[in-house]
Amino acid sequence: MLSTFTLTIIRHKNGFYILRTLTITAEIDKKYGVIVRTSSTLATIQGQEFVQQLLRGHSLQDGIELPLASIKNHYLGKVGNALMSALKDLFKHYELHITSQQ
């Protein structure tokens, strides 16, 4: 299962709105719901690889509390909240997919 989630961030700066889009793509094992691999549109390769390290191996069958806590506690970049929102969207999409398969 390959899922892509896009979150648009709107920030107000000096009277102007800045639009940024954060996309996370996750490869998820269908049988166990484990995040196998991720990619994102974070600005640096180091950020992309770090997020992949934080998320890889988590099973969505167990919920998203642990990966959310992992991002909150270890990702100190400016888009930490956006990453957590994207992960929540990923989980909702995963649940819909599982429900439709039953």
Residue range 20-66, pLDDT digits in tens: 677 788 888 888 999 999 988 888 899 999 999 999 999 999 999 99
Q: Distances in Å between the alpha carbon of 16 and those of 11, 19, 21, 62, 72?
A: 8, 10, 16, 41, 28
pLDDT digits (tens, 9 = 90+) for 64-92: 999 999 999 998 887 888 888 888 888 88
Q: What is the pTM of this model?
A: 0.79
Ordered by where they begin, the domains of the chain are 2-101 (3.30.390)
Determine the pLDDT at residue 11.
Answer: 55
Residue count of the chain, please give it: 102
Q: What is the mean pLDDT of the chain?
A: 82
What pLDDT, on a 0 to 100 scale, did the predictor assign at position 62? 96
